[in-house]
Amino acid sequence: MSSAIAAKTMTQTWQILCTRADLVPYSGVAAWVETPEGPAQVALFYLPGHAQELYAIDHHDPFSNANVIARGIVGDLKGQPVVASPIYKQHFRLEDGQCLEDESITLRTWKVSFKGDEVWIEA
Amino acid sequence: MNTPVKPQLIVIGNGMVGHHLVEQLVEQGATERYAVTVFGEERHLAYDRVHLSEYFSGRDAASLALSTADYYAEHGIELRLHEAVTEIDRDKSEVVTPQGRYPYDRLVLATGSYPFVPPIPGNDREGCLVYRTLEDLDAIRAAAETATTGVVVGGGLLGLEAANALRGLNLDTAVVEFAPRLMPMQVDAEGGELLREKIEALGVQVLTGRATQEIVDGEASRHRMVFQDEKVLETDLIVFSAGIRPRDELARDSGLEIGERGGVVIDDNCLTSDPAILAIGEVALWNNSIFGLVAPGYQMAKVAAATLLEGNEAFKGADMSTKLKLMGVDVGSIGDAHGDRTPGARQFRFLDPLKQQYRKLVVSSDGKRLVGAMLVGDNSYYDTLLQYYANRIELPEDPASLILPAGSEAAPALGPDALPATATICSCHNVTKADVCSAIDGGAVDLGAVKGATKASTGCGGCAALLKTLVDHELESRGVEVDKSICEHFAHTRQELYDIVRVEGIKTFSELMEKHGNPKTHKLGCDICKPAVASILASCFNEPITDAAHIPLQDTNDTFMANMQKNGTYSVVPRIAGGEITPDKLVVLGQVAQKYELYTKITGGQRIDLFGARLEDLPAIWGELIEAGFETGHAYGKSTRTVKSCVGSTWCRYGVQDSVGMAIQIENRYKGLRAPHKLKFAVSGCTRECAEAQSKDVGVIATENGWNLYVCGNGGMRPRHAELFATDLSDEELFRYIDRFLMFYIRTADRLQRTSVWRENLEGGLDYLKEVILEDSLGIGEELERQMQAVVDTYECEWANAISDPEKLKRFRSFVNDARPDPDIIYTTERGQLRPA
């Protein structure tokens, strides 16, 4: 498949994902993103009024193998924004994807930011 | 220059006590002085024999292990497992194994005991086993695979544990005991009778006063046990559990002094008749006694370690009081429980044949001290009684108050204040109140730290509740505030948050956080406080949980108003009030399931569960269901779920009231009510109880004169029967009391606390609850009814609300930038339906 080969050689670029109206304040939504390794499911979290308002993290939950992270509850533990997996409740740090209950597990994260009302991601 | 060679210390035996000795040696620095070698006959490292039975319920050898090979290596201790010592050569000071000879300077026997098998002809037939080691359990499991019945010979503590294990392996189980009652050491005739009733109720046959004469070939089963009276019992599998005997053969063969009925004689320093050799645990005979419990063995291990280091600690005997839960039946025995070792002792006894509880106090002749106690059916009295006994605390004027049922004239539990500093808190690790206090003085600021510093409550765990009370009390008395906060974001309990929300009329999480959140933490909240607050807000104001302000608070089930399953899809459960459904509606459920390829199953609560719905299909599925007249079933919420019913007087020959009509009324009244935990109800049309109402939070049973109300039962992991609360109620009274009961629970329960646990923790118990609800002793009856009426009046089907609002429907998109379904959800088929691959 030529597109797959092409994808492998792609460098990271900024791409538009959705608009501010697609986000859910203080919670998450899921989106598809094209990465150099192929399409990936990403969970976008929106914390209006916080120092960092947008986070993008793997939608895939490695503990249940289901794509559900965007449906978890967002919160903070000891000041760090986290999401709790809706299936087995592990916490993942939004900043870097680190699982707080299991040091060996880290979710992928992406840079994401607003350009006006548009949400852009670097992947 | 020669490096001085360390003296050799050999430990024979790597059981619980042998391992505890190793820990004591390490702790007391003996590994600097001695080169230590430990021999273990089993393949496994020392494991927790107290919890051996859990091996059958899924725990493996590794998780039962008390230590690791690394621990031994780290401290330079040579561990030789699966190597049995066959001889002690005292002339040469060597121990002999099949692998070689090892010299010793000091030797410790921790060889324990073996299960006694009565000398019955046929006791060595295939399928005649014992219950002692992991290997024994493996053998029982293997034998049970081809067996349908099993018998345990011996009705003592271990015998009943073995019987429970056989029951767990799906065998028809019987216990045969030689004595006229079960657990003859711990209980008397009355207690034994109660114990028998309770154990028979669990489906285990109990035969007491039976001596087996021989075991021969059976006719219907593998074996036939022939008793002295010529009666017989046939079975496929026999487990002997008739007591223990010390494993003293090594000591015996090497000429050490042995007791008349076995056991290596030791003195107060655990020294045998050969001062180079010590003995500890169940092989040791001290003051003519063998101690068959782990705590005395641990104490001996500690003394032995001190002796080896020329310290001066003495073993002074041990308390044999025990608290057990056998097949879910509490049995407790303290001190001279039979009262036959104390001259002039006086006895108080309490028997409740309905609740099946029996308690006995043995009191000194002057009535001042407790010398023994016996409990069957309820061990909640144990901790207090043990403290009176162990610390010789003067008894109250009326000692009987200590065993009367709580709530009547019962004496209050002994507070931590009343305990002397010498009071033993944890007998496994011999931790006193003074030890706990000095750990706290030394900087331990919470329960975990105290456990770490003292090891209290890390043995059998029986002292956990007492330790927690003591630690909380001591911390509070030092001005340390004991943290009962729901989480790091609020310094309040759920009850306090509920009151704040009510009193201040706070309607959103952000307002609550703004006004009452912990100022030191950030403002987001977490997955503990957010759903708890969401539930409180819903109980108080009943706004749709899908409103923008409430959305981020909800668990995924509440967010998408469906139950998330393990592959990320959801199950859909429409309400079928009272379990009554028309054929037309049944057809619609089938059609919807076909169209969206859903797996269907009848639930335990008389509803139909549709599994495997994709997130993005939920609105369409619900559109069709609502069109057909269904509404949300709240199966996803901590809220009213089902009201189960029988057919009552509508169809049944015996029904005395219309249970279906009442169930529908109840379900419609309380649907949408959110609570600390899910709520289930049932209504039976007569005392035959086909709706199983006594296993529900609220159970209603019809009588000739109205309705009997039961409260606080539940199924689940720890089933509990509901208790009779009020009798012969009119419809109106029934609703009034349920209104008050539910609202009082919602107001005062802890987060995720079901009604049964709430009830157990309620000070004053059921009588108090009756006063509040039936007699309105707090004067809040009307207020509770009004609050319930407000919830009833604001009911709205959440799904109908959501699908009429395009903004809310946006939440159900699988992806915000693409309509393609999640390709990772894969199904396979089984029994003609789809299920997750």
Q: In terms of domains, do B363 and B334 share one?
A: yes
CATH of residue B201's domain is 3.50.50.60
Chain B hits for A29, CB-CB cut-off 8 Å, are: 813, 816
- Torsion angles phi and psi, residue B631, rounded to 5: -140, 175
- Minimal Cβ distance to A24: which of B553, B811, B822: B811
Domain assignment of residue B830, yes or no: no
For chain B, count helices (H), then strands (E). Answer: 27, 38
Is residue B154 domain-shared with residue B28, that is, in the same domain?
no
User: In angstroms, what CA-CA distances link B536 with A20, B56, B199, B533?
Assistant: 30, 41, 42, 5
Nearest CA in chain B to A84: B527
Identify the closest residue of chain A to B549 by CA–CA distance.
Answer: A25
Among B256, B282, B309, residue at a domain's last position: B309
Residue whose structure tokens are 């059958």: B56
Choice among B234-238, B241-245, B381-385, B537-541 with the minimum mean pLDDT: B381-385
Regarding whether B341 and B222 lie in a shared domain, the answer is: no
Q: What are phi and psi of B454, to 5 degrees?
A: -115, -15
Distance of alpha carbon A19 from alpha carbon B38, whole angstroms: 69
Q: Are residues B30 and B123 in the same domain?
A: no
In a domain, A25, yes or no: yes
Residue B540 known to bind ligand = no
Residue B389 and residue B377: Cα distance in Å, rounded? 20
User: Are residue B375 and residue B460 in the same domain, yes or no?
Assistant: no
- Residue A87 within any structural domain of the chain: yes
Q: Do B822 and A67 touch (CB under 8 A)?
A: yes
Q: What is the CATH number of the domain that holds A70?
A: 2.102.10.10
Residues B668 and B550 in one domain: no
Residue A88 has pLDDT above 50, yes or no: yes
The residue among B520, B527, B566, B636 with the most chain A CBs within 10 A of its CB, best to mutate, is B527
B2 has pLDDT over 80: no
Give the residue numbers spanning the domain of A84. Answer: 14-122
Closest CB to B815: pick one of A30, A78, A81.
A30
Angle at B487 between CA B484 and CA B488, to 5 degrees: 110
* CB B278 within 8 Å of CB B261: no
Q: Quick one: pLDDT at residue B327?
A: 78
B797 is in an annotated binding site: no
Residues in chain A with CB shorter than 8 Å from the CB of B531 are 73
pLDDT in tens, A52-81: 999 999 999 999 999 999 999 999 998 899
Whether the pTM exceeds 0.90: the reply is no
The mean pLDDT value of chain B amounts to 91
What is the rounded distance in angstroms from the CA atom of residue B410 to the CA atom of residue B399?
Answer: 10
How far are the Cα atoms of A26, A85, B778 from residue B617, in angstroms, in the given order?
A: 24, 22, 49
Average pLDDT over residues B701-728: 90
Residues of the domain holding B519: 494-554
In a domain, B459, yes or no: yes
User: Is residue A3 in a domain?
Assistant: no
| Distance of alpha carbon B169 from alpha carbon B164, whole angstroms | 9
State the Rg of chain A over Cα. Answer: 14
* One domain for residues B43 and B165: no
Is residue B776 located within the same domain as residue B648? yes
Does residue B478 sit in the same domain as residue B502?
A: no
In a domain, A4, yes or no: no
Contacts B488 to A, Cβ<8 Å? 77-78
Would A1 be classed as within a structural domain? Answer: no
Question: What per-residue confidence (pLDDT) applies to A6?
Answer: 40
CB contact under 8 A, A31 and B553: no
Query: According to the model, what pLDDT value does residue B7 have?
Result: 95
Domain final residue, candidates B263, B285, B309? B309
- Is residue B580, in this structure, part of any structural domain at all? no
Chain A residues closer than 8 Å to B822 by CB: 41, 67
Domain identity same for B70 and B35: yes
Question: What is the mean pLDDT of the segment spanning B670-681?
Answer: 96
- Determine the Cα–Cα distance for residues B479 and B476; give it in Å rounded to an integer: 5
User: Is B229 found in the same domain as B255?
Assistant: no
Q: What is the CATH number of the domain that holds B457?
A: 1.10.10.1100
ipTM above 0.85, yes or no: yes
Where does a domain end: B274, B309, B344? B309
Query: B251-305 pLDDT, tens per residue?
Result: 999 999 999 999 999 999 999 999 999 999 999 999 999 998 888 999 999 999 9
Considering the domain boundaries, does residue B831 fall inside one?
no
For tokens 């002692």, the residue is B132
State the total domains in chain A: 1
pLDDT at residue B815 greater than cutoff 90 = yes
B690 marked ligand binding residue: yes
| Single-letter amino acid, residue B200 | E
What pLDDT is attached to residue B341?
Answer: 87
Number of domains making up chain B? 6
What phi-psi label fits residue B62: left (phi over 0), alpha (psi between -120 and 50 degrees) or beta?
alpha
Count CB-CB contacts under 10 A for residue B521: 19
Same domain as B253, residue B235:
no
- Is there a domain that residue A109 lies in? yes
pLDDT at position B760 is 78
Q: How many CB atoms lie within 10 A of CB B662?
A: 23
